[in-house]
């Protein structure tokens, strides 16, 4: 577990630096990842009539922003990596905010949905209650949040230059419920594989 301010600062700076140095290769390596199942899972649980205002939390180079625009919605991106923010703005034409996950400044009750695909696992567990509370507050009443994280046995630490926390379902459920969310559904990815080969835990939650 980490908590001291200096450790949190190091986690943020080192993880963002990892992505900054590899921004172009990351874009090329993830450009063709198929996350249509995840996008559909969020959208089908949003009660508001489209176009929906969606926060793409950890938008990276902007792949999913473009997908939401194509589906007729109004996404706003958020990422802490400067190169990703510039790429996402250029790729999608969307508004993209440069904010690191541990220093958020979000408008309250502003979004119909939050799409946190492969992003929240970078938040140290001790910081999750605060971050999830901010995301909860940014949703309109009845809004939905989607998350997908690499799953594990509740270990956390450095992995190849990035900090990650790898929750199992019970642990993830407990922090989400404590932040005021109601569980709608969860599933494991990739679909159609044996459970031991499904390394991603996806879930959808209601404010």
Domain that holds residue 50: 5-206
Number of domains in the chain: 1
Residue with tokens 């459970």: 195
The CATH number of residue 60's host domain is 3.40.50.150
State the pLDDT confidence band at 6, using cuts at 50, 70 and 90. Answer: low
Beta-carbon count within 10 A of 168 CB: 12
Beta-carbon count within 10 A of 162 CB: 16
Concatenate the DSSP letters of all residues of 64-131 into one string: HHHHHHHTT-EEEEEES-HHHHHHHHHHH---EEE--TTS----TT-EEEEEEES-GGGS-GGGHHHH
Nearest alpha carbon to residue 19 among 103, 101, 108, 79 = 79
pLDDT tens digits for range 98-140 = 999 999 999 999 999 999 999 999 999 999 999 999 999 999 9
* Token pair belonging to 186: 């969860």
Stretch (H or E) spanning 163: strand 162-166
């Amino acid at each position: 577990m980490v908590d001291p301010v200096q450790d949190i600062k190091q986690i943020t700076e080192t993880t963002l630096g990892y992505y900054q140095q590899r921004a172009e290769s990351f874009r090329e390596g993830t450009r063709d990842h198929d996350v249509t199942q995840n996008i559909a899972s969020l959208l089908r649980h949003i009660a508001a009539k489209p176009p929906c205002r969606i926060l793409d939390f950890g938008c990276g180079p902007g792949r999913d922003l473009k997908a939401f625009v194509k589906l007729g919605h109004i996404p706003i991106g958020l990422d802490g990596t400067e190169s990703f923010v510039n790429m996402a703005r250029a790729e999608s034409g969307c508004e993209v905010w440069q904010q690191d996950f541990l220093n958020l400044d979000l408008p309250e009750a502003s979004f119909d949905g939050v799409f946190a695909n492969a992003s929240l696992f970078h938040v140290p567990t001790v910081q999750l209650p605060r971050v999830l509370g901010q995301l909860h507050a940014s949703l309109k009443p009845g809004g939905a949040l989607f998350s997908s994280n690499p799953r594990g046995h509740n270990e956390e630490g450095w992995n190849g230059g990035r900090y990650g926390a790898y929750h199992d379902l019970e642990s993830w459920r407990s922090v989400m419920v404590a932040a005021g969310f109601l569980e709608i559904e969860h599933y494991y990815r990739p679909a159609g594989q044996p459970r031991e080969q499904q390394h991603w835990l996806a879930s959808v939650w209601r404010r």
